[in-house]
Amino acid sequence: MIIKLIIVVALFAITLGIAAYLTLMERKVAAWMQDRIGPDRAGPFGLLQPLADGGKMFFKEDFRPTNADKWLFIIGPGIAMFTSLITGAVIPWAPAIQMATESIAIQVADVNIGILFIMGAVSIGVYGIMIGGWASNNKFALFGAIRASSQMISYELAMGVSVITIVMMTGSLSLNKIVDMQHGFWQDGWFSWNVFKQPICFVVFLITALAECNRAPFDLPECESELIGGYHTEYGAMKLGFFLFAEYVNMFISCAVISALFFGGYNFPGMDHFSGLTLTILGGLVFFAKTFFFIFVFMWIRWTLPRFRYDQLMHIGWKKMIPLALINLLITGVVIAYTEGWFSKNKDSESASNAKVEQPLGVNTSLEKTKTGNSL
């Protein structure tokens, strides 16, 4: 119980701390990509910049437009922040510590529907943006909210389908099981990480995750150039801070989910040589390294690509991502059914489990054929 409490508090603090420093990282990465230095005045290398920004947010006037709905206006950023923070609860951050009598999981809650929980929480996150945009009583905010809701709902479908593909391969919705399935790096003659078994699924998930986080090139809900910030146009002070913060927490969590689902979570090559606390610490570090790599990729994409037009966004979401994910799902299903021996007369379970190893290769090759054939 106490251990769980410690983990909860630590996760909360780490998530907020990382989100705060992601703002600095974002600005630094942006600066370097544009041949600039970036913030370097507050503290060495600008390391105190997030504190300065946060302090500024707290001391600003807590402004509320006259015609804004008071309670909804307050609830909006609250929901956004809340939903983004609770998603971290089900992610296994490191291998469990094996004690003599019990094993301590480095995870707030080992929910057996973990990935479903994350999808649900992310869906509720739309409400924060919608309520905030609606309550502001401002056309730009409303436009941003509408765009955000339509975009997130559209891309959630493709994201859900790509998650189902992974769930089908694992046979479980639990993130723990999904990560454990990708043990080590090389298993049974093929890479054990899901990205090597399901590359198309990974690409779909990455793109939809960008859209879910409202990151460029899918940052239509808050495009500064046309909507003046979109749903948070009317917000100021810490309420705006909550929206911006929730975004960075979302980015952190979705990068953690990407590395858990596709890049083996805390698994790393040669992890069998370690055990106990060393393994836990190393695994945790590896997991954070992977997460940060994807955060960097997110920023990299943001500072490279221009924003999609609204119709292009919908076109990609509905006409490309969803069919692609569905076909990938179908092929995965067929291959799994084949390797499980559903099509063979004599159901030899032994050969089925052996044949399952061949499945990833089968998925890859068959998918390439379909892809070119369907002119997606």
The answer to whether 33 contacts other proteins (rule: CB under 8 A) is yes
Closest distance to other proteins from the beta carbon of 233 (Å): 29
Comparison of 5 and 305: residue with beta carbon closer to other proteins: 305
Burial class (CB in 10 A: 0-12, 13-18, 19+), 246: buried
Comparison of 351 and 374: residue with beta carbon closer to other proteins: 374
Binding-site size, other proteins (CB under 8 A):
15
The answer to whether 293 contacts other proteins (rule: CB under 8 A) is no
CA–CA separation, 131 and 145 (whole Å) = 8
Burial class (CB in 10 A: 0-12, 13-18, 19+), 158: buried
CA–CA separation, 251 and 20 (whole Å) = 12
The answer to whether 31 contacts other proteins (rule: CB under 8 A) is yes
| Segment interacting with other proteins, rule: CB under 8 A, options 98-106, 138-146, 295-303, 358-366 | 295-303
> Binding other proteins by CB under 8 A: which of 3, 10, 37, 337?
37
| Segment interacting with other proteins, rule: CB under 8 A, options 4-12, 219-227, 239-247, 298-306 | 298-306
| Segment interacting with other proteins, rule: CB under 8 A, options 64-72, 126-134, 269-277, 301-309 | 301-309
Q: For tokens 């401002």, name the residue.
A: 138
Contacts of 21 (CB under 8 A, 6+ apart): 50
Give residue 203's identity as a one-letter amino acid code. Answer: V
The answer to whether 301 contacts other proteins (rule: CB under 8 A) is yes
Contacts of 44 (CB under 8 A, 6+ apart): none
Footprint on residues 165-194 left by other proteins (CB under 8 A): none
> Binding other proteins by CB under 8 A: which of 9, 10, 305, 357?
305
> Binding other proteins by CB under 8 A: which of 190, 288, 292, 303?
303
The answer to whether 292 contacts other proteins (rule: CB under 8 A) is no
Contact between 160 and 206 under an 8 Å Cβ cutoff? The reply is no
| Segment interacting with other proteins, rule: CB under 8 A, options 25-33, 177-185, 263-271, 279-287 | 25-33
Q: Is 23 helix (H, G, I), strand (E, B) or coil?
A: helix
Comparison of 189 and 306: residue with beta carbon closer to other proteins: 306
Closest distance to other proteins from the beta carbon of 114 (Å): 30
| Segment interacting with other proteins, rule: CB under 8 A, options 9-17, 31-39, 110-118, 348-356 | 31-39
Give residue 191's identity as a one-letter amino acid code. Answer: F
Comparison of 36 and 56: residue with beta carbon closer to other proteins: 36
The answer to whether 375 contacts other proteins (rule: CB under 8 A) is yes
The answer to whether 66 contacts other proteins (rule: CB under 8 A) is no
Contacts of 167 (CB under 8 A, 6+ apart): 115, 173, 178
| Segment interacting with other proteins, rule: CB under 8 A, options 33-41, 60-68, 148-156, 332-340 | 33-41
157 sits in the region (left: phi over 0; alpha: psi -120 to 50; else beta) called: alpha
> Binding other proteins by CB under 8 A: which of 2, 35, 70, 225?
35
The answer to whether 311 contacts other proteins (rule: CB under 8 A) is no
Sign of CA dihedral 127, 315, 216, 298: positive
The answer to whether 34 contacts other proteins (rule: CB under 8 A) is yes
Contact between 126 and 152 under an 8 Å Cβ cutoff? The reply is yes
Comparison of 135 and 213: residue with beta carbon closer to other proteins: 213
Contact between 212 and 159 under an 8 Å Cβ cutoff? The reply is yes
The answer to whether 310 contacts other proteins (rule: CB under 8 A) is no
- Maximum CA pair distance of the chain? 74
Q: Look up residue 33 and give its two tokens.
A: 């990509």
Contacts of 280 (CB under 8 A, 6+ apart): 94, 95, 96, 97, 106
Comparison of 20 and 31: residue with beta carbon closer to other proteins: 31
> Binding other proteins by CB under 8 A: which of 12, 300, 318, 338?
300
The answer to whether 25 contacts other proteins (rule: CB under 8 A) is no
Tell me how many degrees the CA angle 13-60-253 measures, rounded to the nearest 5. 30
Q: For binding to other proteins (CB under 8 A), which residues are involved?
A: 29, 31-37, 300-301, 303-305, 372, 375
